[in-house]
Amino acid sequence: MGILKRVRTILASNIHARISEAEDPELIVNQSLREIERDLREAKAEYGAIEANCKRVKRELDQCISEMEKMERYAVKALESGDEGKARHFLEEKLNFKSRSQELKAQYEVATVHVEQMKLVQEKLRQDFNGLSERRDILVGRLTEAKSKQRMNELGPSQSNVRLTAFDQLEEKAERALAEAEAIEQLKRGLDDDIERISSK
């Protein structure tokens, strides 16, 4: 029953504390999910073995009860035919089968309890797995949102103001350069006109 001990340990462990203390909660949740999946596989395998044992004991018990009833019928027939020796022999056999059936009945009751326990263990592991999967999805969503907000905060007002100021300065330089180019163009045009006037005189 090693899996039962393992499951008790898992169920007793405080996964919430592990998650809250972890630098990467998603990693801890995924690790816990893998552990629960492994335990679920082990529980299924152990459940199969326990259930097979329970069925085997039940078959033996049914067969033993059948043999016990058969010995009783044989004893009655032997008495009816007047053979007390055979009747005594069949009654002794019946007592042997009765003793064995009591042992098998006790084994069957224990095996049935184990089967029920393993069903509960599997159900608990499935619930834990499903609950943790849902919580992981929520956690991943929150972590993604938190990272996005952190990036936005890093690019927050101070950064954006610096960038806007730098952009304003660049725009101002571009306008100044354009104004200078236009002024030089006008001066050049005016100078060309003056040279043309002088040349024509």
pLDDT in tens, 26-56: 787 788 888 888 888 888 888 899 999 999 9
Contacts of 47 (CB under 8 A, 6+ apart): 115, 118, 119, 121, 122
Are 64 and 31 in contact, with CB atoms under 8 Å apart?
no
pLDDT in tens, 82-127: 999 999 999 999 999 999 999 999 999 999 999 999 888 888 888 8
Q: Of the given ranges (8-17, 69-78, 144-153, 162-171), which has the lowest mean pLDDT? A: 8-17
The reported pTM is 0.55
- Higher-scoring residue by pLDDT: 165, 93: 93
Single-letter residue type at 36: I
pLDDT value for 164: 58
Q: Of the given ranges (70-74, 89-93, 185-189), which has the lowest mean pLDDT? A: 185-189
* Residue the block writes with tokens 């006790």: 106
Average pLDDT over residues 65-94: 92
2-154: CATH architecture: Orthogonal Bundle (1.10)
d(CA 149, CA 155): 10
Q: Measured in whole angstroms, how far is the alpha carbon of residue 128 from the centre of its chain?
A: 7
d(CA 124, CA 173): 70
d(CA 133, CA 23): 19
Start-to-end C-alpha separation, the chain: 120
pLDDT value for 146: 79
pLDDT band at residue 163 using 50, 70 and 90 as cut-offs: low
Which uninterrupted H or E stretch holds 104?
Answer: helix 84-154
